[in-house]
Structure 1
Amino acid sequence: MESIYTYFETIPTAHRSIILVSGIAFFWILEYIIPLFQLKYSKIRHAGINIFFTLTTILVNFPLAFLLLKTSDWTIANDFGVLNWLPLMPIWLKVLVGVMLLDLLSAWLAHWVEHKVKVLWGFHLIHHTDHEVDTTTANRHHPGESLVRFAFTCFGTFVVGAPVAVFMIYQALSVVLSQFNHANISLPKKVDDVMSWVIVSPDMHKVHHHYKLPYTDSNYGNIFSIWDRLFGTFLKLPNHQIVYGVDTYPNEKENADIGALLKIPFKRYKTPEKVDLESTR
């Protein structure tokens, strides 16, 4: 564990890029082998749209990365944050606690807030307008949302008092797990169910991409599923009942146009209506 920790303390940018690209490539291939849905779309064109937003996320995060490093350095220098207040612990436990707390504050909380604050929902909406959810959907985020997510990552690092190695491990896991739970892959149902007690499984997260409330406002988790179970936002829906998209933005043509997607946060949009949970069972 110490060698892994040391590696992530100084992980090169090129290696982080390899993790991102390798994850997409691996799950992309797996989608051909064990697809969940036989989606009828141009996989290349669809990926092109989502990779565009992946690149905008990189462009937003790269010049701001120094703020994250400065935040981490400040917490260590000033003995601030949860990890610095806890008793000394083994490295593996320190990493586990740090990653779990970062997952709560930087991912789950950020995601929940984006669904509850109207202005932020306008930016996050782009992620939900994908009618063909696959592994590339994981990186489909408006540049404005990328800024919001970065702010929450800094906030999480500040509260947790996360050393560089811890938040780098968290970010690597976050990228890969997000690609995994968005991937259009079919796992044995029992395997997926058992997995969903620990991490966010594909079937669990697909419910979040159902086009109607309350399912859209459920299963916010990224790495660990405990937060949705703990805060009462965990829901199930059989795969055959899931319809991707957002009921207030049903136009598939516009939702596959980069220019239109970039403008969505600056438009007035309808508030989605809830559906009766009993009627969908």
Structure 2
Amino acid sequence: MNEIIAYFSTIPSLHRSLILVGGITIFWLIENAFPLFSFSYKKWQHAGINFFMTFTTIAINFALAFLLLATSDWTIANDFGVLQWLPAMPLWLYALIGLLLLDFIGAYLVHLIEHKVKFLWRFHLIHHTDTWIDTTTGNRHHPGESVIRFTFTILGIFIVGSPMWIVFLYQTISVISTQFTHANIALPEKFDSFLSYFIVSPNMHKVHHHYKLPYTDSNYGNIFSVWDRLFGTFIYLKKEDIVYGIDTHMNPVEHNKLNNLLKIPFQEGRSAKKS
């Protein structure tokens, strides 16, 4: 455990980049070999759009990273936050509690709020417009949403009182989990179901990408599935019944053109509606 703490306390930016690129590459190869769905699409053109949004997310996170460090340092220096108020415990339990709480605030809660607040939904909608869900979809976020999610991550660090090594560990697991749950892969049904009792599994998350309510407003989790099960937002749907996309933007001109995707939050009408 001490080795993990030491590594994630000073993890180089290069290593974090390699984890991101390596994860996408590995899941890309797996989904080509064992696809869940056979898509008729230009994979590289589709990936190009999603990679652009991945790079904007990286740029925003890099530019604002000093805020994460400042928030974490302040909580430690002032003995503030949930982790700082807990009694002494094994490091693995301390880390698990930190990861659970950061996942709740920085992933589940912000995701839920984005679906319930119309202004925030306009930005998150871009993620749901993808009708070809694969591992590149995981980071298909409008730059505006990247700022929104970053804000909630800072809020999570502040409330949790998280040291930076847990923050970096959380972000690393979060990236891998996102790539895994969006990958167009076919896991054995029973194994996927078993996983979904502990972590968000591919089939569990893909229900969230079904094009109609109530499925769109379900399965918000990123790493841990406990939050959906605890708060009653877990829904099951057979994978063969899933239709990707969002019913307000099923035209490829709307969901497969970068210029339009960037403009969607500022378009009146359908961008604020779900049916």
Moved over 6 A (4+): none
Q: CA RMSD in A?
A: 0.6
- Corresponding residue for residue 164 of structure 1: 164
User: Which amino acid counterpart does residue 252 of structure 1 have in structure 2?
Assistant: P
TM-superposed CA distance for 1:63, in Å, is 1.0
- Corresponding residue for residue 242 of structure 2: 242
State how far apart, in whole Å, the 2-side matches of 1:30 and 1:268 are: 39
- Corresponding residue for residue 114 of structure 1: 114
Q: How does 1:30-179 map to 2 (within 5 A)?
A: 30-179=30-179
User: Which amino acid counterpart does residue 255 of structure 2 have in structure 1?
Assistant: N
Show CA shifts across 1:123-180 (max 9, x none): 0000000010000000100000000000000000000000000010000000000100
Show CA shifts across 1:236-259 (max 9, x none): 111111100100111112211110
| Higher deviation after alignment, 241-250 or 146-155 | 241-250
- Corresponding residue for residue 8 of structure 1: 8
State how far apart, in whole Å, the 2-side matches of 1:94 and 1:30 are: 34
State how far apart, in whole Å, the 2-side matches of 1:170 and 1:218 are: 22
- Corresponding residue for residue 262 of structure 2: 262
State how far apart, in whole Å, the 1-side matches of 2:45 and 2:201 are: 26
**Secondary structure at 2:252 match in 1:** coil
- Corresponding residue for residue 277 of structure 1: none
State how far apart, in whole Å, the 2-side matches of 1:178 and 1:101 are: 17
State how far apart, in whole Å, the 2-side matches of 1:112 and 1:223 are: 15
**Secondary structure at 1:36 match in 2:** coil
User: Which amino acid counterpart does residue 2 of structure 2 have in structure 1?
Assistant: E
Q: Would you say the 8 A contact 1:37–1:184 is kept in 2?
A: yes
**Identity in percent:** 62
- Corresponding residue for residue 21 of structure 1: 21
**Please, which of 243, 261, 272 is the counterpart of residue 274 of structure 2?**
272
TM-superposed CA distance for 1:200, in Å, is 0.3
| Structure 2 runs not aligned, ≥5 long | none
User: Which amino acid counterpart does residue 272 of structure 1 have in structure 2?
Assistant: K
Show CA shifts across 1:205-245 (max 9, x none): 00000000000000000000000000000001111111001
Q: Would you say the 8 A contact 1:107–1:221 is kept in 2?
A: yes
| Structure 1 runs not aligned, ≥5 long | 274-281
State how far apart, in whole Å, the 2-side matches of 1:242 and 1:253 are: 22
TM-superposed CA distance for 1:34, in Å, is 1.1
User: Which amino acid counterpart does residue 171 of structure 2 have in structure 1?
Assistant: Q
State how far apart, in whole Å, the 1-side matches of 2:91 and 2:12 are: 21
Q: Would you say the 8 A contact 1:177–1:223 is kept in 2?
A: yes
User: Which amino acid counterpart does residue 7 of structure 1 have in structure 2?
Assistant: Y
**Secondary structure at 2:87 match in 1:** coil
Q: Would you say the 8 A contact 1:248–1:269 is kept in 2?
A: no
The two structures have a TM-score, normalised by structure 2, of 0.98
State how far apart, in whole Å, the 2-side matches of 1:250 and 1:138 are: 19
State how far apart, in whole Å, the 2-side matches of 1:23 and 1:94 are: 27
Show CA shifts across 1:11-39 (max 9, x none): 01111001100110000000011110011
**Secondary structure at 1:152 match in 2:** helix
TM-superposed CA distance for 1:43, in Å, is 1.2
State how far apart, in whole Å, the 2-side matches of 1:255 and 1:249 are: 6
TM-superposed CA distance for 1:269, in Å, is 2.8
Between the two proteins, the alignment pairs up a number of residues equal to 273
**Secondary structure at 1:253 match in 2:** helix
Q: Would you say the 8 A contact 1:36–1:184 is kept in 2?
A: yes
**Secondary structure at 2:170 match in 1:** helix
State how far apart, in whole Å, the 2-side matches of 1:269 and 1:103 are: 32
User: Which amino acid counterpart does residue 210 of structure 2 have in structure 1?
Assistant: H
User: Which amino acid counterpart does residue 251 of structure 1 have in structure 2?
Assistant: N
